Structure 1
Amino acid sequence: MIVGFGILLILLATFGAILSVREFRIRDVAEARRELMALDLLFSQETQRTMQSVDLVLSSLQDDLTLGGITKPQDIIRKRASVEMFLLLKSRIVGIPQIREASLIGPDGKLICTTKTYPAPNLDFSDRDYFLVLRDTPISGSYLSQPEYNASTKTWSIYLARRVDDASGHFIGVVATAIDLTYLENLYKTLQIGDYGAVSLWRSDGTLLARYPASGSIGQIYKIKSFEGILQPGTPVTFEATDTIDRPERIVATMAVDEFPLVVNISRLKSHVLADWRQARLLIAVGTFLFGIALCCVLWLLVRHFNTYDALTAADRERSKAIAERERAEAQLRQAQKLESIGQLTGGIAHDFNNLLTAVLGNLEMLKRHTEKGDARLNRWANNAFDAAKRGAVLTQRLLVFSRRQPLEPRGAKIESVLGSMSDLLRRTLGENIEIVTTTEPGLWPAFADLNQLDNAILNIAINARDAMDGRGRLSINASNCQFAEGQTDEPEIAHGEYVLLAIADTGKGIEKEVLDRVFEPFFSTKPTGQGTGLGLSQVYGFIKQIGGHVRIESVLMQGTIVRLYLPRAQNEEPTIEAPATEASPQARAGTVLVVEDDAEVRVYSAEILRDLGFDVREAKNAAEAMAILRSSIELALLFSDVGLPGVTGAELAEEAIKLRPNLKVLLTTGYVQDSTIERCRFVYGIQVLPKPFTRAELSEKITTTLTPARRYAHS
C-alpha cells in the first residue's frame, strides 16, 4: 500500500510536470503567434501603402493620357517620339523609390515610351502577361504581373499596369510601372522582426515575389497552406508549417493585402520560439526526477520498517494456502478413493454375481427350450424370470463399465460407418422434432474403440441432449482428427498423441456449474425419481478412459452443451469378421473341448451346452487339472476357460496351453477384467473373450467364430 501510495505521488508529480510543461509550451507558442500576427498586420499595411503609391501614379498617368487628346490608337502611337510624354512619365515617378521605370505600351504591344531611356527602343511586350490580360479584359483597376528577372541588373521586378481605353471604351494601350522587388526586401529588412524571423511577399497564386532573408526561389510557385482557404482579408491568421522554403519548421502568420492580389507572410523558427520552453522543460524534468528519487528513498525506508510485517503476513498466507491445498488434495483423494472403492466393490462381487447369473440364465434358457411346446403358463414364467435375469446382467455390465473392468473388444474402426449405422436409431430414439446433423472431416483416421460401447456412449449422450432440449432442438455430431503435442494441453488426464474427436452438441438449456462438476459421478442424476439411474455418463466416462481416451463436457446456460469424446487413433482399420449365417450342426462341431471353471454350476452348465452342440467335453476346476489334461495325449479342439481361476489365472493358463499346443484354439470367459494378461492374449495370440453371463446362443456363436476360419471383408 505504501509503495502504491508512493507510486501514485510520483505519477501525480509527473502528471503535474507534464501539464506544466504543456501549458508553458502552449503559452510560448500563443505569445509567438500574437507577436507574429501584429508584425504581419504592420508589414501588410506597409506593403499596401507601397502598392497604393504606385497605383496612384498609374491612375494619374491614365488620366493624363485620356485628357491629353488621345482618342484612338494612332494618337498614342504618335507619342513614340514625343519628348513631352517622356518628361510626363519621368515626372510622375520622381520621389517614388520603389518604381524602377514607367512605360507606355501601344495597342500592338510595341513600347512607345519609357522613363529608362529616350527615345524608346523598339521593344515588343505583346507576350507579357499583364499586356495580354489587360488587352483581352476590360479591367477598371490595376493588374499585378508575374515577377520578371533582369539579367543585366540581376534583379527581380513586378509590373503594376493599367489599361488605357478611348472614349468608346476600346483598348488603345497599357501604362505600366516596374516595381523593384529589392526595394521591398530592403523595406522588410529595416523593420524589426527579431532573430530567426523571415518575411515573404507572395502573389495570391503562390508565386514568391520577395523574401527576407533573401532566397533563391523568387518566381517559383509553391503550394502552401496560406493560399488554401485560411486567408481572411484584413485579419492575420497563424499556422505551423513543417515544409518551408528553408526546411526548418516555422510558426507562420499570414494576411492578404487589401486591394491587391498579394499575401504577406511573417514567420519565426519554431525551435527558436520554444528555446525558453525547452530550458524550462529541462528544469521541470530534473526537479521531478529529484523529487522522485527523494520520494523513493523515503518509501525504501518505510518499506524496510514494514518488511517484518510483510514477511509474517506472507508466511501466514502461505500457511493458509498450504492448508487449502491440502484440503483440496484430501477432497480429491476422498473422491478418488470413493470411486475406487465403488470400482473395487463392483469388481469384488462381479465374478461371483456373473457366475450366479450365468447359471440362472443358463438354466432358465434350458427351461424355456423344454417348455416351449408344453405348459404355456410355465413357459411364460420361465420367460419372465429369464428377462429379469437379463436386466440384472445389464445392470452389472453398467457397473463394470464405470469401474473400467468390463471385457472390451476394441479395434480400429471407421467412425463414418459407426455414425451412418446409428442414424436411423438416433432418429427413432430422439423423435421427429429434433434435427440431427452429422458431419465428418475428410481423411478421418480410424479410431480405436469397442463398437458396441461406442454406440451406447453416443446413444446415452444423445438421450441426455434430448431431455435437455425438451424434445425439440438440434443435435450436431462432428467427427474430426485431433492431435496434441507434448505439453500442448493443460489437462493432465489427456496424454499427448493422435485422437479422433467426436463432438456432440445440443441446443438445450445447458448445465449449471455445480452440476457440471459431478456429471460423471455414478448414481448422480438431476432427473426425477424413476427417470434415470445416474449411470449414463458414468458409463461413457469409464468406457472412454478404459480405451485410453478422454472425455470433456462444456456447457453454457441457455445456449447448449457440447460433449467431446477423444478416441485414440488406431494404426489401421481392422476388417469386420463376418459371423456364420446359421448355427453349425453338431457334426460340424466334432472334437473335444476342455472346460476350465472353478464354479461348479457354471462348469456343469457350460459342459451341458457344449455336449448339446455335439462336442466331447473334459472338465477341470483349476489350472493344475487343466495342465494335466493338456500334457496328456488327449486331442483337444478348444480350450474354454474362465479367467478368474484360483492361483494361475485363465489368461496365464491360455499362454501356457498355446506354448504346449500351438494350434490349439482358445476361448476365455470372464465377468470383469482383472488380469492384464487378457490384453496380451487377445492382441498377441488373437484369443477371443466371452463376457459373463452368457446364453447358449452367445456361447455357440463365439465357439463357432473361434473354430471356423474367419471370412473377412473390409469396410467400404
Structure 2
Amino acid sequence: MKKVFLLANVLVALVLVIIITRSILIDRAQVIEANYRQLENATAALAEHAQQTLMALDLGLTVVEQTGSDNMSDLQALNTAVVSRQAAAANTYAFYVLDRNGTLLATSRTPDPMPVDLSQYSEFTAQRDGRHEGMYIATPRLGTVGFAENQWVINVSRRITAADGSFAGVAAASMSLDYFGDFYDALRGDERSALGLLSSEGRVIARSPFDETLMGQDYSQNSQFPDVQGSDDGGRVTDLATSDGMPRLSAFRYAWNRSLIAYANTTEAEALLEWQGRLLSKISIGLLIMLTFTGTSAATIVLAQRQQHFAEQTLRTQQRAQAFVSAAKAEVETVFSAISDAVFSLDREWRFAFLNPEAERVLERPAAELMGKKITEEFPELTETGFYESYREARGKGESVSMERYYRPLQKWFVINAYPHEEGMTVYLQDVTRQKEMEERLHHAQKMDAIGQLTGGIAHDFNNLLTVILGNIDLLSTHLESAPENVRGQADVIRIAGERAAELTHRLLAFARRQPLNPQQTDINALVQEAKHLLARTVGEDISIELACGHDLWPAIVDPYELQNAILNLAINARDAMPEGGKLTIETNNASVSQEYADEQGVTAGDFITIAVSDTGCGMTAEIAAQAFDPFFTTKDEGKGSGLGLAMVYGFAHQTGGHVNIYSESGEGTTVRLYLPRVDGDNDSQYQAGPDRVDASGGTGRILLVEDDDLVRRFAVSGLQKLGYEVSDFADGAQALEALRLAEDRSQPYALLLTDVVLAGGLSGREVAAGAVEIDPQLKVLFMSGYAENAIVHHGRLDPGVNLLSKPFRTADLAQKIREILDS
C-alpha cells in the first residue's frame, strides 16, 4: 500500500513538473515577445521623431544651399538666408556656410564672422570628397564657437555646387544634442533600458541615458551589426549598442533614407522581472497541490494560509502595476505636450482620448471641446481624405500607417502617422502646408530655369542668322527703290518677319535672364511719364491711361530701356483683356519687404520701388493666374499671342534683382506689380529721359574684326566698308592678334577691335580683347554677342567699362555704336 501511495505521489509530482515547466516556458516567451513589441513601438516613435526633425532641418539647408549655388560671393544673400532659417528653427544653435576651403563664410549669429577654419570636421570633408549624397549627419562633438561652445552638438550639412558642377562649399547647421536627449529621457522606461540613434556605419549619434564617453563610439564590430545592415527596415537583435556586457533585448528601425538606426533595448533581467515573480508563484502552486494530494488536514490549513498570502501579494502587485501605469501615462502625456509635433489619441470608438497643445493649435480646436467626442462627427470632411479607411486597415492588421493628405476646411496639408494599439490609435500630425508651398515654388523656379536655359541656348546661333537676314535686307532695300512695287513689298515682308523674329528672340532672352542689362540710376516717375505717350499709341483711344505717381520715390537701379519694354508688354496684355475698352492705371510707390513676408513668398527682403499696372478687364481665375508667367502659356486665340510677354517680364524682374507678382479675379481685372531694387550706394550712371540719338554716319580708320560665323563676318565687313572704314577680318583670335602685332611694327595702328564674345579656335572674345589691349593700350574694344556670356556679363549685368553691340544688329546700329566709342 505504501508503494502504491508512493508511486502515485511520484506520478503526480512528474505531471505537475511537466505542466508547470511548460507553463513557465510559454509565459517566458510571451513576456519576451511583449517586451520586444514595446521596444519596436519605441523605435518607431524614435524613427518618426528623427524623420520629422531632420526633414524640417534639411528643408532649411536646401534654401541656404540654393542661395550659395546661385552666388557664393553674395555675402548679404548668404547672411539673409542663414538668419531666416535660424529664426525658423528652435532646435539649432546656428546655420552657417563654409567656403570650398572649409573657412567660415557666413553664420546666423553674426553678420561678419571671424574666418574660422573648420575644414577638419567631417561635415565638411564628407561633402568635399563626395562621400555622401543629400544631407550628411556627423557624429556628436563639443561645440567650439558661438552659442554652441562647450555644448554637445550634431552638425548636419549639404554640399553647395557651383553652376559648373564643381564643389563650392557647404551649407551646415549645429543642432543641439539635448533636443534628442530630452525626448529620449522622457520615453525611456526603467534605469537599465537605453534608447538612441546610430549612424548607418554604427557610430553613436544620440543616446539616453547620456554618456559622453559613448558619443561617436563605433559599434560596427558588434557580432550582430551585420544582421542590422542586412535588414530591409528594422528587426530584433540581442546585443546592439550595449556598453555594460549585460544580456539585452534590442529592437531597431531605419530612419532618414537608411542613414540612421533608431534603437531601444532593455536588460533581459529587467524584462523578466515580472515573469520571475510569476515563476515563484507557479512553483509555489505546484508544491501546494502536491501537499494537498499527500498531506493532512494540517497541510490543508497551511495551503489555505499560503493561498491567502498569495492573493494579498497578487493584489499588492496589481496595485503597484496600476500606479506604475498611471505614472507612465502622465509622463507620456507630458512628453507629448512638450514635443513640437501634433499628437492625439483615439479610443476604439473613434473618440478623442488625448490631445497635446500642438494638436489643439493645428486642428484649431481646444482639447476641452474635443475630448470624448468622435472624430467622425467633429471632422466629417475626413471622409474625403481616405483617413478612415487607412485607420481601419491599420487596426485590422495591427500595423502603423503613414499618409499625406490635404484637409479642405483648414486649407492645410498634413503628414499623418498613425500607430494602432489595443486601446485604439495614437496619431502624429505634422502641418506641412508651408513646406508644400515652398516645394511648389522651388519646383516652379526649377521649371522656369530649365526652360530658360533651353530657350536661351538657342539664341546665339539664331541671332547670328537674324543679323545676316536683317542686315542684308537693309542693304538690298537701297537697291530696290526703283523696283516694282510687288518686289519692294516682298522685301518689306522679309524685313518685318525678321524684326518679329528678333523681338521674339529678345523676349526669350529676357525670360531666360540672359539679356545683358545695363542698370542705371533711374527716376521711375520720369520714365513712366515718358512711356505714357508710347502707351497711348499702343493701347488705342478706347482705353484711358491714368498715372498715380508716388511722392518722394526712391531712385531705382534698373536698365531703363528693358523696363520700358516690360511696361509695354504689361500694357499690351491689359489692352487685350479689355476688348471693349476700359482704364489702364500705372501706379508707383516705395515698398519695404519684410523678412517674414520674403520667406513666405520665396523672394528677397529689402527696399524696392514698385510699378503696378492694373486694368479693368476680364481678369483671370486662380488656376490661370498661377500659370500666367509660364513661357508660351496664353489664353488668346491661336496665332494672336506668343505667350512670352509676361514670361519676359518675369525674367527681367528677377534678373534685375527684384520680383513680380500677379493678382487677379475673374471679372474684376488684373494687377501686375513689379518690384525694382532701390539704389544702394553711389552710382554715377544715371538715365536721362529722351536721349538724343548719336550720329550714325560712317567714318575713317582701321577696324580689326574677329567673327567665326562666316555669314555674319561677310555682312559686317560689307557694312563697315560701306560706312568708309578699312577692315581686316579674321575667323579666330590667334590670327587677329598676330595681325595686330604686325600692324604695330609697321606703325599702322587699328582704331577699334570689333569681336564676337564666343569664338572658335581656343580664345574667347574677352581673351582676344585682353591680348589686343596689351599689344596696343590705345585700342578701343566693341564686343558683339547674341547671348549674355559670362565672359562680359555677370549676375545679368554688363561688366563695368564693357561696350556691347547686341545681335541681331543692322548697319545703322553698327554705325551708331562705333561712332559712340570712337568719339568718346
TM-score (norm 2): 0.45
- Name the structure 2 match of 1:657: 772
Are 1:394 and 2:503 matched, yes or no?
A: yes
Change (3 A) 1:427 1:357: closer
Q: Is the 8 A contact 2:456 2:512 kept in 1?
A: yes
- Name the structure 1 match of 2:815: 700
Q: Secondary structure at the match of 1:644?
A: coil
Q: Is the 8 A contact 1:655 1:681 kept in 2?
A: no
- Name the structure 1 match of 2:716: 606
- Name the structure 2 match of 1:523: 632
Q: 1:342 aligns with which of 451, 458, 462?
A: 451
Are 1:678 and 2:793 matched, yes or no?
A: yes
Q: Within 1, Cα distance between the matches of 2:509 and 2:647?
A: 10
Change (3 A) 1:502 1:681: closer
Q: Is the 8 A contact 2:516 2:798 kept in 1?
A: no
Q: 1:583 aligns with which of 678, 696, 699?
A: 696
Are 1:641 and 2:751 matched, yes or no?
A: no
Q: Secondary structure at the match of 1:523?
A: coil
Change (3 A) 1:661 1:544: farther
Structure 2: where are the runs of 5+ without partners? Answer: 1-325, 335-343, 348-352, 355-390, 405-414, 418-429
Paired residues for 1:175-186 under 5 Å: none
Change (3 A) 1:418 1:312: farther
Are 1:550 and 2:659 matched, yes or no?
A: yes
Shift of 1:483: 2.5
Are 1:668 and 2:783 matched, yes or no?
A: yes
Q: 2:462 aligns with which of 339, 353, 356?
A: 353
Are 1:420 and 2:529 matched, yes or no?
A: yes
Partner amino acid for 2:661?
R
Shift of 1:582: 3.6
Shift of 1:616: 1.4
Partner amino acid for 1:674?
E
Q: Is the 8 A contact 1:407 1:670 kept in 2?
A: no
What percentage of aligned pairs have identical amino acids? 40
Shift of 1:504: 1.7
Q: Within 1, Cα distance between the matches of 2:796 and 2:562?
A: 21
Are 1:453 and 2:453 matched, yes or no?
A: no
Change (3 A) 1:565 1:681: closer
Summarize deviations over 1:636-693 as a string: whole Å, max 9, x none: 1111111121333223433443444443221111111132533599865522211111
- Name the structure 2 match of 1:618: 728
Q: Is the 8 A contact 2:553 2:609 kept in 1?
A: yes
Summarize deviations over 1:331-373 as a string: whole Å, max 9, x none: 7676555434432332332211211121222222221112224
Q: Within 1, Cα distance between the matches of 2:701 and 2:516?
A: 28
Q: Is the 8 A contact 2:555 2:679 kept in 1?
A: yes
Are 1:495 and 2:607 matched, yes or no?
A: no
Q: Secondary structure at the match of 1:698?
A: helix
Q: Within 2, Cα distance between the matches of 1:334 and 1:684?
A: 31
Q: Is the 8 A contact 2:441 2:602 kept in 1?
A: no
Shift of 1:450: 2.4
Q: Secondary structure at the match of 2:629?
A: coil
Change (3 A) 1:356 1:472: closer
Q: Is the 8 A contact 2:473 2:494 kept in 1?
A: yes
- Name the structure 2 match of 1:562: 671
Q: Secondary structure at the match of 2:787?
A: coil
- Name the structure 1 match of 2:385: none
Corresponding pairs, count: 413
Change (3 A) 1:428 1:316: closer
Shift of 1:435: 3.1
Between 420-429 and 651-660, the greater mean CA deviation after superposition: 651-660
Change (3 A) 1:362 1:436: closer
Change (3 A) 1:458 1:316: closer
Summarize deviations over 1:241-284 as a string: whole Å, max 9, x none: xxxxxxxxxxxxxxxxxxxxxxxxxxxxxxxxxxxxxxxxxxxx
Shift of 1:581: 5.3
Change (3 A) 1:600 1:614: same
Structure 1: where are the runs of 5+ without partners? Answer: 1-292, 710-716
Summarize deviations over 1:288-344 as a string: whole Å, max 9, x none: xxxxx99x98x9899698899999768556478899999988876765554344323
Q: Secondary structure at the match of 1:570?
A: coil
Change (3 A) 1:337 1:636: same
Shift of 1:566: 0.5
Q: Secondary structure at the match of 1:669?
A: strand
Change (3 A) 1:440 1:303: closer
- Name the structure 1 match of 2:520: 411
Q: Is the 8 A contact 1:640 1:667 kept in 2?
A: yes
Q: Is the 8 A contact 1:473 1:508 kept in 2?
A: yes
Paired residues for 1:245-256 under 5 Å: none
Q: Secondary structure at the match of 2:627?
A: coil
- Name the structure 2 match of 1:74: none
Summarize deviations over 1:145-167 as a string: whole Å, max 9, x none: xxxxxxxxxxxxxxxxxxxxxxx
- Name the structure 2 match of 1:255: none
Q: 2:590 aligns with which of 468, 478, 481?
A: 481
Q: Is the 8 A contact 1:682 1:688 kept in 2?
A: no
Change (3 A) 1:578 1:706: farther
Q: Secondary structure at the match of 2:805?
A: strand
Q: Is the 8 A contact 2:733 2:765 kept in 1?
A: yes
Shift of 1:485: 4.8
- Name the structure 2 match of 1:597: 707
Q: 1:439 aligns with which of 548, 555, 558?
A: 548
- Name the structure 2 match of 1:380: 489
Partner amino acid for 1:529?
E
Shift of 1:541: 0.7
Summarize deviations over 1:401-453 as a string: whole Å, max 9, x none: 21121233332221122111121222233333433221222221222222232
Higher relative contact order (CA 8 A, sep 6+): 1
Q: Is the 8 A contact 2:516 2:796 kept in 1?
A: no
Shift of 1:551: 0.3
Q: Is the 8 A contact 1:555 1:562 kept in 2?
A: yes
Q: Secondary structure at the match of 1:489?
A: helix
Shift of 1:479: 1.0
Paired residues for 1:117-128 under 5 Å: none
Q: Is the 8 A contact 2:628 2:646 kept in 1?
A: yes
Q: Is the 8 A contact 1:651 1:675 kept in 2?
A: no
Change (3 A) 1:421 1:300: closer
Change (3 A) 1:699 1:491: farther
Partner amino acid for 1:428?
R
Q: Within 2, Cα distance between the matches of 1:436 and 1:404?
A: 30
Q: Within 2, Cα distance between the matches of 1:667 and 1:653?
A: 12
Q: Within 1, Cα distance between the matches of 2:672 and 2:525?
A: 18
Shift of 1:481: 1.7
Shift of 1:623: 2.3
CA RMSD of aligned residues (A): 3.8
Are 1:574 and 2:686 matched, yes or no?
A: yes
Partner amino acid for 1:583?
A
- Name the structure 2 match of 1:124: none
Q: Within 2, Cα distance between the matches of 1:429 and 1:377?
A: 29
- Name the structure 2 match of 1:20: none
Change (3 A) 1:537 1:602: same
Shift of 1:518: 0.3
- Name the structure 1 match of 2:806: 691
